[in-house]
């Protein structure tokens, strides 16, 4: 049952917001001398100006550029909402003790969507096999599943765990080699956080556990690679604000409600090519492992490619891309020149299951081509 504090905050926050909005808009209207305001006065007010959306764009620009105290208001209202209600903006689920989750991880994926995705993955497998390349898929479970105890009870559920199980089972039915990452992450969890508390991504500990699961998956499938000498070292950690913090408050004001930056240890590996032996045909670009996937792989802060080199004792070329989900980078890979230039033996496909059922799984946002069809 909501507490008295929550009831009070529910009334006070909107009142404060509308009070500020009245003041800010009054100041905005009185500020007729501003460059933006003067530019907007030169627009001809017409029905076309409104229908075409130009009026909306100009109004949006006016608010962004001219609204007084905008940055401060975003941070302060965000702090108040978080402190009093334990909530953030749309898109984030706030748990206890600074644990944040993306709302994308609280959904039920229809069985047909899973089967469709697996069908596309099977097509990728066949195309890679035609080039003499083995595919291993590393499905990544949802953070809300691995850390379900940190999820508010009102939204806690088993949908993402069930999606992971259904996805794994469907991949196996198609004969696709997999890295079963969920049990690996759960096993590593007692020894350190495998996901970042305020970010959608895994921690280096989670990346390491996943890399070891990839090695196990290849071993179980009987896929072997020549062993190379790999040297590794930890480097100076970096600090960064989790990408979900902006859905709660602004970084400048986050410390005021006890939120902190994430501290990320950096792991780097190097393959000793001389010790591994030179290619007698002089193909210096040949690399046995190619990694494709999302920002979990592309962002070097998580060190996933480095942990793969260490676990597989083999060099890795990373062609993962940020901001496109798992499908588009693979489609780009198949239509590009990287496979021919690098001639990998194995392609590791990192695939977060929270992207299953999304409209842009296989195509960039705004692509006019219909989904489906051959890759």
Instruction: Please tell me which residue in 295, 297, 303, 311 is annotated as part of the active site.
Output: 295
Residue 20 corresponds to which tokens in the numbers above?
Answer: 């500020």
Contact (Cβ atoms closer than 8 angstroms) between residue 301 and residue 330: no
Crossing angle for the helix pair 111-130 and 159-173, to the nearest 10 degrees? 40
Please confirm, yes or no, whether 153 is among the known catalytic residues.
no
| Contact (CB, 8 A) for 284 and 292 | no
Which of 52, 54, 26, 23 minimizes the C-alpha distance to 39?
54
Counting Cβ atoms within 10 Å, is residue 13 exposed (0-12), middle (13-18) or buried (19+)?
Answer: middle
Q: Does residue 187 contact residue 143 with C-beta atoms inside 8 Å?
A: no
Structure tokens, 84: 């009093």
Marked catalytic residue, from 116, 144, 145, 201: 201
The answer to whether 210 and 138 are in contact (CB under 8 A) is yes
Is residue 199 annotated as part of the catalytic site, yes or no? yes
Q: Which of 116, 145, 180, 199 is catalytic?
A: 199
**Alpha helices (H) along 148-262:** 159-173, 181-188, 204-220
Catalytic residue set: 199, 201, 295
């Amino acid at each position: 049952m909501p507490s008295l504090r929550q009831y009070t905050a529910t009334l006070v926050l909107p009142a404060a917001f509308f009070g500020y909005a009245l003041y800010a808009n009054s100041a905005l209207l009185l500020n007729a001398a501003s460059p933006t305001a003067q530019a907007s006065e030169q627009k001809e007010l017409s029905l076309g100006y409104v229908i075409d959306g130009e009026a909306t764009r100009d109004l949006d620009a006016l608010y962004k550029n001219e609204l007084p105290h905008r940055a401060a208001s975003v941070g302060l209202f965000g702090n108040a909402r978080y402190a009093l209600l334990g909530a953030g903006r749309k898109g984030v689920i706030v748990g206890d003790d600074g644990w944040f989750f993306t709302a994308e991880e609280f959904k039920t994926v229809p069985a047909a969507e899973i089967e469709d995705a697996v069908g596309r993955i099977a097509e990728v497998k066949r195309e890679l096999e035609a080039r003499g390349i083995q595919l291993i898929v590393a499905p990544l479970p949802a953070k809300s599943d691995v850390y379900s105890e940190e999820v508010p009870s009102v939204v806690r559920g088993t949908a993402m765990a069930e999606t992971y199980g259904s996805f794994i089972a469907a991949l196996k039915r198609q004969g696709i080699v997999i890295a079963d990452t969920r049990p690996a992450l759960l096993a590593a969890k007692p020894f350190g956080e495998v996901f970042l508390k305020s970010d959608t991504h895994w921690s280096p500990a989670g990346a390491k556990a996943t890399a070891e699961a990839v090695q196990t998956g290849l071993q179980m499938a009987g896929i072997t690679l020549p062993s190379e000498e790999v040297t590794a070292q930890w480097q100076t950690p970096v600090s960064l604000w989790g990408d979900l913090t902006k859905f709660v408050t602004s970084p400048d004001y986050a410390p005021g409600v006890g939120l902190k930056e994430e501290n990320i240890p950096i792991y780097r590996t190097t393959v000793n090519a001389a010790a591994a032996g030179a290619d007698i045909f002089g193909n210096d670009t040949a690399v046995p492992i190619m990694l494709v996937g999302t920002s979990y792989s592309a962002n070097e802060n998580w060190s996933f490619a480095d942990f793969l080199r260490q676990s597989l004792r083999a060099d890795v070329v990373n062609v993962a891309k940020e901001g496109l989900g798992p499908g588009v980078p693979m489609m780009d890979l198949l239509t590009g020149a990287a496979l021919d230039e690098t001639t990998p033996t194995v392609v590791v496909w990192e695939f977060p299951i929270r992207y299953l059922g999304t409209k842009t799984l296989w195509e960039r946002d705004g692509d006019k081509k219909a989904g489906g069809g051959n890759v």
